[in-house]
Amino acid sequence: MFIPCDRGGGSAAPDFKGFTLLMPAVSVGNVGQLAIDLVISTLDMTKVGYFYTDCLVPMVGNNPYATAEENSMELSINAEVYSLPSKKLVVLQIRSPFIKNKYRPFCETLLSWVKSSECARVVLLSSSHAYQRNDEQLLGTPLRYLLTPDLEKAVGGRVQELNWKEMEKVAAYPGISDTDKVLHIPGGGITKLLFTESCSKGIQMAVLLKFCSEGDNIPDAFVLVNYLNEWLQLVKSEVNPSSQWKIPSSWRLLFGSGLPPALF
């Protein structure tokens, strides 16, 4: 359930009609979440609310996008919503893992909100285990996409122009029968469920994902966000694509650099 921020002048829900909702899957390497961090930080997006749910592990921390001591002590929780009306963009950032058996309730609540808020489409940033690729997936780019039928009608031509590679289906019974093919996204968290539910509910959704392994996944995040930018053109493309993204202050703590003094 979306709860708007109370800015002192009331807490009326912002209007997201016609907006693109951008969000991560909690997947291998947290690549989608890191890519979302880059988008929020670079575009200097405004926090407009949070997603109140019992499907995620509770957490609280300092402002991950702090730019000065004054805003470093603002608190952030596990699922927050940011907006940039000038680009008709709304972002849901998820910062904690899902509670067991809570995938489906979360997807149902999320898609219900998407419909009620009249978002035009959803873009899900995800990742999948590199070591579980089949022979076909080992070839070429490690990036893949999926489009629901409703979004395929709207942007299929544009995606073909970009020469992107669609996520391959794999044999349901490898070594026994190659005729039955299924969508398989190991390590992708809610990706498959959210995509299939969007297909059945007529919601326009795109999944952009990268094959990767656990470790330092910052390079994977840059690759994925540049992939997204090819399509949505959130920032102007530079000669060095990675230089166009602003790294959030919280990334200094990714590998145990000590706790910020403002936390105490």
16-253 in CATH: which number?
3.40.50.10900
Mean pLDDT by 10 residues, the chain (264 residues): 73 85 96 97 94 93 85 88 96 95 94 95 97 88 96 91 92 72 93 96 96 94 96 83 84 67 58
Q: What is the pLDDT of residue 29?
A: 94
The model carries a pTM of 0.91
Q: What is the pLDDT of residue 256?
A: 60
**Among 71, 68, 66, 83, CA closest to 5:** 83
Q: What is the pLDDT of residue 156?
A: 84
Q: What is the pLDDT of residue 225?
A: 96
Q: Which residues neighbour 83 within 8 Å (Cβ) at sequence distance 6 or greater?
A: 14, 16, 19, 45, 46, 48, 89, 90, 91
Residue with the two structure tokens 């009620």:
116
Q: Are 23 and 94 in contact (CB under 8 A)?
A: yes
Q: What is the pLDDT of residue 6?
A: 73
Residues 163-171: contacts with CB under 8 Å, at least 24 apart: 165/140, 165/141, 167/207, 167/209, 168/134, 168/136, 168/137, 168/144, 170/134
Q: CA 60, CA 151: separation in Å to the nearest integer?
A: 35
Query: pLDDT tens-digit profile of 204-259?
Result: 999 999 999 999 999 999 999 999 999 999 998 766 766 789 999 888 877 665 65
- The rounded mean pLDDT for the chain is 89
Sign of the C-alpha dihedral, residues 42, 26, 152, 18?
negative
User: Of how many residues is the chain composed?
Assistant: 264
Q: CA 193, CA 206: separation in Å to the nearest integer?
A: 13
Query: What six digits make up the tokens of 220?
Result: 């994977």
Rama region for 165: left / alpha / beta (φ>0; ψ in -120 to 50; rest): beta
Q: What is the pLDDT of residue 5?
A: 86
* Residue 76 DSSP SS3: strand
Q: Which residues neighbour 264 within 8 Å (Cβ) at sequence distance 6 or greater?
A: none
